[in-house]
Amino acid sequence: MKEFMLFNPTSLDEAVELLGTDSSRAQLLAGGMDLLGRLKKRIDSPERVINLKSIPGLADIRDSQEGLSVGALVKLTELAEDSAVNAKYRALAQAAESVGSVQIRNAGTMGGNLCQKPRCWYYRHADFLCLQKGGTICYAQGGENRYHAILGGGPCFFAHPSDLAPAFIALDAQARIVGPKGQRSVAVEDLYRLPIIQLNGGLALEPGEILAEVRVPAPKANSRSTYLKFKEKPSFDFSLAGVAASVVMEGGKVSAARLALSGVSPVPWRPLDAEKILTGSPLNDATARQVADAIVEESVPLLHNRYKIPLTRTIVRRALLSLA
Ligand SMILES: Cc1cc2nc3c(=O)[nH]c(=O)nc-3n(C[C@H](O)[C@H](O)[C@H](O)COP(=O)(O)OP(=O)(O)OC[C@H]3O[C@@H](n4cnc5c(N)ncnc54)[C@H](O)[C@@H]3O)c2cc1C
Ligand code: SF4
């Protein structure tokens, strides 16, 4: 690990100033579950590390009639165990519970989970200067790509690692961001951009911006949500294929639906055509099959990850039927 200066700001404005806009010189630290690994392997070697944990007021979960507010420093364990989150925002509690191991959930934060960098093994190896690190090649495309994307890939094919992101997207959440130009609010979905549009580890934050909070609107009457994922190691692992689903039911049919997939695309994947099929349909096995088939219809597997197609189909069906 290269030496760096550690800063402990006491406000977001101070953190923004210390961070600057050159990510090669300064990086934010939350729980460190992602950043410290990258520093140790010299994937990143910033001069300054800005510790967000010294800033008060970023670690609260607040539930009200308007909805839920989750501060960037809320730990994944807290999110998974919060009674209001479990009662009203089930997909979010399940997504938090599904992350890594107990140790990772006890240290990892909501903000760090949404802003973590690709888990592609070429990206995480200092000797591979791939597209995402300013090189000219995607080593995964013709290499070891069994964990990579089947949807929305190209020219980079990593599978987006966050479990919380699809849950927030299915729940129509908004992120509050502060940065050098002030404060803005953006749909969580728009925090991510496909690599064909932008190569920035999948994240669409502007240079120098910090995620402060995510707000989830209060659930509508007769709504339900869930998050399910397949993982290779049952004890702790990233998603091979997962889905967050949120539906509103009316007269035995789905009147509104939002879906977002994990583990299959460089962004949390929103299958808009499949949502249209779901909306207006009864929530039964025939609908679940139709929706799952529509999602994988667009998939373009690489040499070693074709298995993700049946996996995705199955997890989508299971998730939808669990909401029936
Ligand atoms: C063995 C292992 C298994 C894992 N399994 C899973 C899994 O199953 N599912 C899953 O989703 N994740 C998994 N992870 C990833 C882990 O959950 C995330 O890395 C963790 O949640 C990140 O949170 P953190 O607070 O530790 O982030 P940090 O490591 O502190 O930060 C992560 C990145 O986000 C940036 N950042 C942090 N906070 C902010 C902010 N507020 N605004 C802007 N940028 C910010 C940092 O600069 C850094 O680049 C796993 C990690 C490991 C090591
Ligand atoms: S998939 Fe993306 S992160 Fe992985 S080697 Fe290719 S360009 Fe790099």
Q: Which domain holds residue 309?
A: 223-322
> If you measure from the C-alpha of residue 194 to the centroid of ligand 2, how many angstroms do you get, rounded to a whole number?
12
Cβ proximity of 216 and 173 under 8 Å: yes
The answer to whether the CB of 140 is under 6 A from ligand 2 is yes
Going by C-alpha positions, the residue among 304, 245, 235, 285 that lies closest to residue 269 is: 245
User: What is the strand order of the sheet 48-51 is part of?
Assistant: 5-7, 48-51, 26-29
On whether the CB atoms of residues 176 and 185 are closer than 8 A, the answer is yes
Q: How far apart are CA 169 and CA 300, in angstroms?
A: 23
Q: Tell me the CA–centroid distance for residue 72 and ligand 1, in Å.
A: 11
Assess whether pLDDT exceeds 90 at residue 156: yes
Residue 235's pLDDT band, with cuts at 50, 70 and 90, is confident
Domain-embedded: residue 306: yes
75, 108 Cβ separation under 8 angstroms: yes
| Closest residue to atom 2 of ligand 2, CA basis | 156
Identify whether the C-beta of residue 225 lies closer than 8 Å to the C-beta of residue 191. no
**What does each C-alpha distance from 258 to 26, 27, 178, 276 come to in angstroms?**
36, 33, 27, 9
Q: What is the pLDDT of residue 218?
A: 98
The answer to whether residue 270 sits within a structural domain is: yes
The mean pLDDT of the chain is 97
The predicted structure's pLDDT at residue 256: 98
Q: Is position 286 within any domain?
A: yes
Q: What is the pLDDT of residue 200?
A: 83
At 236 the pLDDT is 86
131 lines ligand 2 (CB under 6 A): yes
SS3 321: helix
Q: Which residues line ligand 1 (CB under 6 A)?
A: 27-35, 52, 72, 76, 99-100, 104, 107-109, 111-113, 115-117, 161-163, 210-211, 236-238
Q: How far is the CA of 253 from the centre of ligand 1 (A)?
A: 38
Q: What would the DSSP string read from start to end of 211-223? A: EEEEEEEPPPTTE
pLDDT at residue number 63 = 98
106 C-alpha to center of ligand 2: Å?
Answer: 29
- CATH number of the domain that 259 lies in? 3.30.390.50
Q: Which residue from 116, 206, 233 has its CB within 8 A of the most atoms of ligand 1, so it is best to mutate?
A: 116
Tell me, yes or no, whether 134 lies in a domain.
Answer: no
Radius of gyration of the chain (CA): 19
- Compute, in angstroms, the gap from residue 321 CA to the centroid of ligand 1: 31
118 in contact with ligand 2, CB cutoff 6 A: yes
Expressed in angstroms and rounded, the spacing between residue 60 Cα and the centre of ligand 2 is 35
Q: What is the DSSP letter of 117?
A: P
> What average pLDDT does this structure show over 289-309?
98
Whether 161 lines ligand 2, by a CB cut-off of 6 Å, is: no
Stretch 186-202: mean pLDDT, rounded? 94
Atom of ligand 2 nearest to the CA of 122: 5
Q: Does residue 156's CB lie within 6 angstroms of at least one atom of ligand 2?
A: yes
**Of all helices (H) and strands (E), which one includes residue 186?**
strand 182-187
Ligand 1 atom 14 nearest Cα? 100
* Residue 302 within a domain: yes
Predicted confidence (pLDDT) per residue in 72-129, tens digit: 999 999 999 999 999 999 999 999 999 999 999 999 999 999 999 999 999 999 999 9
Mean pLDDT for the stretch of residues 60-78: 98
Quick one: average pLDDT of 260-288? 98
Let me know if residue 172 belongs to a domain: no
Q: What is the pLDDT of residues 35-44, one digit of tens each?
A: 999 999 999 9
User: What's the confidence (pLDDT) of residue 24?
Assistant: 93
DSSP character at residue 181: T
Specify whether the CB–CB gap between 133 and 123 falls below 8 A. Answer: yes
Q: Per the domain annotation, does 200 fall within a domain?
A: no
pLDDT tier, 27 (very low <50, low <70, confident <90, very high otherwise): very high
CA–CA distance, 124 with 288 (Å, rounded to integer): 37
Distance 18 CA to ligand 2 centre (A): 29
How many domains, the chain?
1
Beta carbons of 275 and 295 less than 8 angstroms apart: no
Mean pLDDT for 300-311 is 98
Dihedral of CA atoms 125, 126, 128, 129 in degrees, nearest 10, equals 130
**Is residue 304 assigned to a domain?**
yes
Does the pLDDT of residue 201 top 90, yes or no? no
| Ligand 1 atom with least separation from CA of 36 | 29
The percent of residues in the chain predicted with pLDDT above 90, rounded, is 97
